[in-house]
Structure 1
Amino acid sequence: MAKKIISGSTGAMTVFANGRELNDVTSVTLPDVEMPTTEIKGAGIMGTLNIPQTGQVNAMTVEITLRRTGKDKAYLMAQGKVDIEVRMATDVRASDGSMYVEGTKIFATGYATKIGNGKAEPGSTRDESVSYSVTRYREIIDGEETMLIDQESKVFKVGGKDRMREVRSILY
Protein backbone atom coordinates (compact mmCIF):
# COMPACT_ATOMS: atom_id res chain seq x y z
CA MET A 1 0.00 0.00 0.00
CA ALA A 2 1.25 3.44 -0.90
CA LYS A 3 2.26 5.73 1.90
CA LYS A 4 -0.38 8.42 2.35
CA ILE A 5 0.82 11.88 3.20
CA ILE A 6 -0.98 14.93 4.48
CA SER A 7 0.74 18.19 3.64
CA GLY A 8 0.53 20.85 6.29
CA SER A 9 1.40 24.50 6.34
CA THR A 10 4.53 26.28 5.23
CA GLY A 11 6.65 26.54 8.32
CA ALA A 12 9.39 28.78 6.96
CA MET A 13 10.19 30.66 3.77
CA THR A 14 13.09 32.56 2.25
CA VAL A 15 12.84 34.72 -0.89
CA PHE A 16 15.69 35.83 -3.16
CA ALA A 17 15.75 38.25 -6.10
CA ASN A 18 18.79 37.96 -8.38
CA GLY A 19 20.55 36.12 -5.55
CA ARG A 20 19.86 38.80 -2.91
CA GLU A 21 17.78 37.71 0.11
CA LEU A 22 14.71 39.87 0.70
CA ASN A 23 13.93 40.57 4.35
CA ASP A 24 10.48 42.20 4.41
CA VAL A 25 8.50 39.59 2.40
CA THR A 26 5.19 38.51 3.91
CA SER A 27 3.93 36.38 1.02
CA VAL A 28 4.50 35.39 -2.59
CA THR A 29 1.53 34.78 -4.87
CA LEU A 30 2.52 32.17 -7.41
CA PRO A 31 1.21 32.13 -10.99
CA ASP A 32 -1.83 30.33 -12.26
CA VAL A 33 -0.95 28.17 -15.25
CA GLU A 34 -3.72 28.42 -17.81
CA MET A 35 -3.80 27.14 -21.35
CA PRO A 36 -5.94 29.20 -23.74
CA THR A 37 -8.72 27.26 -25.44
CA THR A 38 -10.55 27.30 -28.74
CA GLU A 39 -14.29 26.67 -28.85
CA ILE A 40 -15.12 23.79 -31.21
CA LYS A 41 -18.60 23.00 -32.52
CA GLY A 42 -20.06 21.00 -35.36
CA ALA A 43 -21.21 17.56 -36.45
CA GLY A 44 -20.52 14.76 -33.97
CA ILE A 45 -20.36 17.13 -30.98
CA MET A 46 -23.28 17.82 -28.69
CA GLY A 47 -23.02 21.58 -28.22
CA THR A 48 -19.54 23.06 -27.96
CA LEU A 49 -16.19 22.00 -26.52
CA ASN A 50 -13.28 24.09 -25.33
CA ILE A 51 -10.05 22.47 -26.52
CA PRO A 52 -6.67 23.63 -25.12
CA GLN A 53 -4.42 25.17 -27.76
CA THR A 54 -1.29 23.04 -28.10
CA GLY A 55 1.85 24.97 -27.33
CA GLN A 56 0.20 27.97 -25.70
CA VAL A 57 0.23 29.19 -22.09
CA ASN A 58 -1.47 32.39 -20.96
CA ALA A 59 0.55 35.15 -19.28
CA MET A 60 1.78 34.28 -15.79
CA THR A 61 2.24 36.67 -12.87
CA VAL A 62 4.15 36.44 -9.59
CA GLU A 63 3.45 38.97 -6.83
CA ILE A 64 5.77 39.61 -3.89
CA THR A 65 4.12 41.30 -0.90
CA LEU A 66 6.29 43.30 1.51
CA ARG A 67 5.60 44.56 5.02
CA ARG A 68 6.78 48.10 4.32
CA THR A 69 8.52 50.38 1.91
CA GLY A 70 12.25 50.19 2.01
CA LYS A 71 15.36 48.82 0.45
CA ASP A 72 13.73 45.57 -0.74
CA LYS A 73 11.09 47.42 -2.77
CA ALA A 74 13.65 49.86 -4.19
CA TYR A 75 15.92 46.95 -5.13
CA LEU A 76 13.08 44.99 -6.78
CA MET A 77 11.98 47.96 -8.87
CA ALA A 78 15.52 48.98 -9.91
CA GLN A 79 16.11 45.65 -11.64
CA GLY A 80 15.17 44.89 -15.24
CA LYS A 81 14.85 41.14 -15.51
CA VAL A 82 14.50 39.48 -12.10
CA ASP A 83 15.24 35.88 -11.15
CA ILE A 84 13.08 35.09 -8.14
CA GLU A 85 13.72 32.09 -5.91
CA VAL A 86 11.34 31.05 -3.15
CA ARG A 87 12.41 28.34 -0.69
CA MET A 88 9.74 26.82 1.55
CA ALA A 89 9.75 24.20 4.30
CA THR A 90 6.41 22.38 4.57
CA ASP A 91 5.30 20.18 7.46
CA VAL A 92 4.13 16.73 6.31
CA ARG A 93 2.48 13.86 8.21
CA ALA A 94 2.79 10.31 6.84
CA SER A 95 0.18 7.55 7.24
CA ASP A 96 2.40 5.80 9.80
CA GLY A 97 2.13 8.90 12.04
CA SER A 98 5.63 10.15 11.41
CA MET A 99 6.25 13.83 10.75
CA TYR A 100 8.86 15.30 8.46
CA VAL A 101 9.70 18.50 6.62
CA GLU A 102 9.52 18.66 2.83
CA GLY A 103 11.37 21.30 0.85
CA THR A 104 9.96 23.22 -2.10
CA LYS A 105 11.85 25.59 -4.37
CA ILE A 106 10.14 27.90 -6.84
CA PHE A 107 12.11 29.68 -9.54
CA ALA A 108 10.54 32.43 -11.65
CA THR A 109 12.06 34.81 -14.19
CA GLY A 110 10.19 37.96 -15.04
CA TYR A 111 9.94 41.70 -15.41
CA ALA A 112 8.32 44.14 -12.95
CA THR A 113 4.92 45.30 -14.21
CA LYS A 114 3.13 46.75 -11.18
CA ILE A 115 3.86 48.43 -7.85
CA GLY A 116 1.22 48.19 -5.15
CA ASN A 117 1.94 50.95 -2.63
CA GLY A 118 -0.20 49.37 0.07
CA LYS A 119 -1.97 51.36 2.75
CA ALA A 120 -1.14 53.75 5.54
CA GLU A 121 -2.85 52.70 8.75
CA PRO A 122 -1.70 53.05 12.37
CA GLY A 123 -0.74 49.69 13.86
CA SER A 124 -0.57 47.94 10.48
CA THR A 125 2.06 47.01 7.95
CA ARG A 126 2.01 48.76 4.58
CA ASP A 127 1.49 45.52 2.62
CA GLU A 128 3.15 46.83 -0.52
CA SER A 129 3.67 44.58 -3.52
CA VAL A 130 5.62 44.20 -6.72
CA SER A 131 4.14 42.13 -9.57
CA TYR A 132 6.13 40.43 -12.30
CA SER A 133 5.24 39.20 -15.75
CA VAL A 134 6.80 35.73 -15.68
CA THR A 135 8.32 34.05 -18.75
CA ARG A 136 9.90 31.07 -16.96
CA TYR A 137 8.53 29.14 -13.98
CA ARG A 138 10.06 26.08 -12.32
CA GLU A 139 8.92 24.13 -9.26
CA ILE A 140 10.93 21.50 -7.39
CA ILE A 141 9.43 19.53 -4.48
CA ASP A 142 11.75 17.42 -2.34
CA GLY A 143 14.38 17.44 -5.07
CA GLU A 144 12.02 16.39 -7.90
CA GLU A 145 11.04 18.81 -10.65
CA THR A 146 7.25 18.89 -10.77
CA MET A 147 6.78 21.71 -13.29
CA LEU A 148 8.84 23.69 -15.78
CA ILE A 149 7.38 26.28 -18.12
CA ASP A 150 9.68 28.35 -20.28
CA GLN A 151 7.62 30.34 -22.76
CA GLU A 152 10.60 31.67 -24.69
CA SER A 153 12.13 28.20 -25.18
CA LYS A 154 8.77 26.45 -25.78
CA VAL A 155 9.19 24.10 -22.80
CA PHE A 156 6.24 22.82 -20.76
CA LYS A 157 7.03 19.88 -18.47
CA VAL A 158 4.66 18.57 -15.82
CA GLY A 159 5.59 15.63 -13.57
CA GLY A 160 8.48 14.74 -15.85
CA LYS A 161 6.35 14.63 -19.02
CA ASP A 162 7.43 17.07 -21.74
CA ARG A 163 4.12 18.26 -23.20
CA MET A 164 5.90 20.31 -25.89
CA ARG A 165 8.35 17.69 -27.22
CA GLU A 166 6.21 16.87 -30.27
CA VAL A 167 5.55 20.53 -31.03
CA ARG A 168 9.27 21.39 -30.91
CA SER A 169 10.08 18.41 -33.17
CA ILE A 170 7.56 19.72 -35.73
CA LEU A 171 8.74 23.33 -35.56
CA TYR A 172 12.50 22.76 -35.49
Structure 2
Amino acid sequence: MPKRSERVIDYSVHLNGSEYLGTATADLPEIGFLSDTTKGAGISGEMEAPSPGQTSAMTLTLNWSNVGKAGLQLLAPKVHALDLRASIQEFDTATNEYFESALKITVRGRPLSGGLGSLETMTAMGSTTAFSVHYLKVSIDGEEILEIDKLAYIYKVLGVDYLAKTRANLAL
Protein backbone atom coordinates (compact mmCIF):
# COMPACT_ATOMS: atom_id res chain seq x y z
CA MET A 1 0.00 0.00 0.00
CA PRO A 2 1.16 3.57 -0.59
CA LYS A 3 2.23 6.21 1.83
CA ARG A 4 -0.62 8.62 2.38
CA SER A 5 -0.31 12.33 2.90
CA GLU A 6 -2.69 13.39 5.67
CA ARG A 7 -2.27 17.00 6.78
CA VAL A 8 -0.12 20.02 7.44
CA ILE A 9 1.13 19.74 11.01
CA ASP A 10 2.29 23.34 11.08
CA TYR A 11 3.92 25.90 8.86
CA SER A 12 5.66 29.26 9.00
CA VAL A 13 6.12 32.25 6.73
CA HIS A 14 9.57 33.84 6.37
CA LEU A 15 10.82 36.93 4.54
CA ASN A 16 14.19 36.83 2.79
CA GLY A 17 14.87 33.32 4.04
CA SER A 18 15.11 34.13 7.74
CA GLU A 19 12.72 36.75 9.14
CA TYR A 20 9.70 35.02 10.69
CA LEU A 21 6.59 37.00 9.79
CA GLY A 22 3.95 35.67 12.17
CA THR A 23 0.58 33.95 12.10
CA ALA A 24 -1.08 33.72 8.70
CA THR A 25 -2.88 31.30 6.46
CA ALA A 26 -1.93 31.19 2.80
CA ASP A 27 -3.96 30.92 -0.39
CA LEU A 28 -1.30 29.45 -2.67
CA PRO A 29 -0.94 30.22 -6.39
CA GLU A 30 -2.96 28.27 -8.93
CA ILE A 31 -1.00 27.19 -11.97
CA GLY A 32 -3.00 27.59 -15.16
CA PHE A 33 -1.63 27.30 -18.66
CA LEU A 34 -2.22 29.79 -21.45
CA SER A 35 -4.14 28.08 -24.21
CA ASP A 36 -5.93 28.69 -27.45
CA THR A 37 -8.70 26.85 -29.22
CA THR A 38 -7.46 24.69 -32.07
CA LYS A 39 -9.78 23.64 -34.86
CA GLY A 40 -9.53 22.74 -38.51
CA ALA A 41 -8.71 19.91 -40.87
CA GLY A 42 -7.91 16.65 -39.09
CA ILE A 43 -9.61 17.64 -35.82
CA SER A 44 -13.12 16.57 -34.98
CA GLY A 45 -14.45 19.83 -33.59
CA GLU A 46 -12.37 21.98 -31.28
CA MET A 47 -9.87 21.42 -28.49
CA GLU A 48 -7.95 23.62 -26.09
CA ALA A 49 -4.22 23.51 -26.78
CA PRO A 50 -2.16 24.65 -23.78
CA SER A 51 1.29 26.14 -24.36
CA PRO A 52 3.83 24.16 -22.30
CA GLY A 53 5.48 26.34 -19.66
CA GLN A 54 3.40 29.42 -20.46
CA THR A 55 1.37 30.13 -17.33
CA SER A 56 -1.33 32.59 -16.50
CA ALA A 57 -0.88 35.13 -13.70
CA MET A 58 -0.21 33.58 -10.29
CA THR A 59 -1.33 35.12 -7.00
CA LEU A 60 -0.38 34.39 -3.40
CA THR A 61 -2.58 35.74 -0.61
CA LEU A 62 -1.52 35.79 3.03
CA ASN A 63 -4.39 36.06 5.50
CA TRP A 64 -3.25 37.56 8.80
CA SER A 65 -5.02 37.25 12.15
CA ASN A 66 -4.41 40.92 12.89
CA VAL A 67 -2.82 44.02 11.39
CA GLY A 68 0.86 44.07 12.21
CA LYS A 69 4.25 45.16 11.05
CA ALA A 70 4.85 41.85 9.26
CA GLY A 71 1.91 42.21 6.90
CA LEU A 72 2.22 45.96 6.44
CA GLN A 73 5.94 45.89 5.53
CA LEU A 74 5.01 43.62 2.62
CA LEU A 75 3.10 46.52 1.04
CA ALA A 76 6.41 48.22 0.13
CA PRO A 77 6.34 48.47 -3.69
CA LYS A 78 9.19 46.06 -4.36
CA VAL A 79 9.79 42.34 -4.93
CA HIS A 80 9.47 40.30 -1.74
CA ALA A 81 11.09 36.87 -1.31
CA LEU A 82 8.89 34.64 0.84
CA ASP A 83 9.36 31.08 2.10
CA LEU A 84 6.45 29.04 3.34
CA ARG A 85 7.85 26.06 5.26
CA ALA A 86 5.61 23.23 6.36
CA SER A 87 5.83 19.87 8.06
CA ILE A 88 3.46 17.41 6.38
CA GLN A 89 2.09 14.41 8.29
CA GLU A 90 2.02 11.20 6.30
CA PHE A 91 1.11 7.62 7.10
CA ASP A 92 2.85 4.51 5.78
CA THR A 93 0.15 1.87 5.34
CA ALA A 94 2.74 -0.94 5.02
CA THR A 95 4.40 -0.24 8.38
CA ASN A 96 1.43 1.49 10.10
CA GLU A 97 3.70 4.34 11.12
CA TYR A 98 3.49 8.10 10.89
CA PHE A 99 6.30 10.15 9.41
CA GLU A 100 6.82 13.75 8.35
CA SER A 101 7.98 15.39 5.15
CA ALA A 102 9.37 18.89 4.77
CA LEU A 103 7.51 21.08 2.27
CA LYS A 104 9.04 24.39 1.22
CA ILE A 105 7.31 26.81 -1.13
CA THR A 106 9.42 29.76 -2.23
CA VAL A 107 7.84 32.72 -4.00
CA ARG A 108 9.01 36.06 -5.25
CA GLY A 109 6.37 38.62 -6.00
CA ARG A 110 5.18 42.18 -5.83
CA PRO A 111 2.31 43.37 -3.65
CA LEU A 112 -1.05 43.70 -5.40
CA SER A 113 -3.20 44.69 -2.44
CA GLY A 114 -3.46 44.83 1.30
CA GLY A 115 -6.64 44.70 3.32
CA LEU A 116 -6.66 45.86 6.92
CA GLY A 117 -9.64 43.68 7.81
CA SER A 118 -12.20 44.69 10.39
CA LEU A 119 -12.26 45.71 14.03
CA GLU A 120 -14.60 43.81 16.29
CA THR A 121 -14.27 42.90 19.94
CA MET A 122 -12.79 39.44 20.62
CA THR A 123 -12.29 38.47 16.97
CA ALA A 124 -9.40 38.25 14.54
CA MET A 125 -9.15 41.22 12.18
CA GLY A 126 -8.73 39.21 8.98
CA SER A 127 -6.20 41.42 7.23
CA THR A 128 -4.68 40.27 3.92
CA THR A 129 -1.72 40.83 1.65
CA ALA A 130 -1.88 39.66 -1.99
CA PHE A 131 1.09 39.28 -4.34
CA SER A 132 1.63 38.92 -8.06
CA VAL A 133 4.00 35.94 -8.20
CA HIS A 134 6.65 35.71 -10.91
CA TYR A 135 8.79 33.01 -9.24
CA LEU A 136 7.60 29.81 -7.57
CA LYS A 137 9.55 26.79 -6.35
CA VAL A 138 8.15 23.76 -4.53
CA SER A 139 10.53 21.38 -2.75
CA ILE A 140 9.71 18.27 -0.74
CA ASP A 141 12.36 16.92 1.61
CA GLY A 142 14.92 19.04 -0.23
CA GLU A 143 14.04 17.68 -3.69
CA GLU A 144 12.97 20.33 -6.19
CA ILE A 145 9.62 19.26 -7.63
CA LEU A 146 8.45 22.39 -9.45
CA GLU A 147 10.12 25.66 -10.45
CA ILE A 148 8.52 28.46 -12.43
CA ASP A 149 10.56 31.57 -13.15
CA LYS A 150 8.61 33.77 -15.54
CA LEU A 151 11.40 36.34 -15.92
CA ALA A 152 14.16 33.76 -16.61
CA TYR A 153 11.88 31.66 -18.85
CA ILE A 154 12.10 28.50 -16.70
CA TYR A 155 9.39 25.89 -16.20
CA LYS A 156 10.75 22.77 -14.49
CA VAL A 157 8.89 19.72 -13.25
CA LEU A 158 10.97 17.00 -11.57
CA GLY A 159 14.16 18.44 -13.07
CA VAL A 160 12.90 18.65 -16.67
CA ASP A 161 12.90 22.23 -17.99
CA TYR A 162 10.09 22.42 -20.51
CA LEU A 163 11.16 25.89 -21.67
CA ALA A 164 14.85 25.03 -22.30
CA LYS A 165 14.35 24.59 -26.06
CA THR A 166 12.28 27.78 -26.28
CA ARG A 167 15.02 29.69 -24.41
CA ALA A 168 17.63 28.28 -26.79
CA ASN A 169 15.52 29.19 -29.83
CA LEU A 170 15.16 32.78 -28.59
CA ALA A 171 18.86 33.22 -27.75
CA LEU A 172 19.82 33.48 -31.45
Query: Shorter-chain TM-score: what band?
Result: over 0.9
* Residues 118-133 of structure 1: pairs in structure 2 closer than 5 A: 118-133=117-132
Q: Does 1:148 align with 2:159?
A: no
Structure 1 residues 145 and 55: alpha-carbon distance in aligned structure 2, compared to 1, 3 A threshold: closer
Q: Distance in 2 between matches of 1:55 and 1:77?
A: 29
In structure 2, distance between residues paired with 1:34 and 1:120: 36
Q: Secondary structure at the match of 1:11?
A: strand
Structure 2 match to 1:101: 100
Report the counterpart of residue 114 of structure 1 in structure 2: 113
After TM superposition, the structure 1 = structure 2 runs for residues 24-103 of structure 1, keeping only pairs within 5 Å, are 24-25=23-24, 27-78=25-76, 80-95=78-93, 96-103=95-102
2:76–2:111 CA contact under 8 A, matched in 1: no
Shift of 1:9: 1.0
Aligned residues: 169
Given that residues 24 and 72 in structure 1 are in contact (C-alpha distance below 8 angstroms), is that contact kept between their aligned partners in structure 2?
Answer: no
TM-score of the pair, normalised by structure 2: 0.93
Give the Cα–Cα distance (whole angstroms) in 2 for the partners of residues 86 and 55 of structure 1. 23
1:12 is the counterpart of 2:10? yes
Deviation at 1:88, TM superposition (A): 0.0
The secondary structure found in structure 2 opposite 1:136 is strand
Give the alignment of 1:154-165 within 5 angstroms: 154-165=153-164
Hey, what's the Cα distance between the residues in 1 that align with 2:77 and 2:41? 53
- Structure 1 stretches of 4+ moved >4 Å: none
For residues 90-128 of structure 1, the C-alpha deviation after alignment (integer angstroms, 9 at most, x for no partner) is: 101012211111100010000001112223333320111
SS at match of 2:74: helix
| Residues 61-100 of structure 1: per-residue CA shift (max 9 Å, x gap) | 1111100011112221236110000100010101221111
**1:57 Cα deviation from its structure 2 partner:** 1.2
**What stretches of structure 2 of length at least 5 have no aligned partner?**
none
Q: TM-score, normalised by structure 1?
A: 0.93
Partner Cα separation in structure 2 for residue 74 and residue 55 of structure 1: 33
| Root-mean-square deviation (Å) | 1.4
SS at match of 2:146: strand
CA shift at 1:8, angstroms?
A: 1.1
**% of aligned pairs identical?**
26
SS of corresponding position for 2:89:
strand
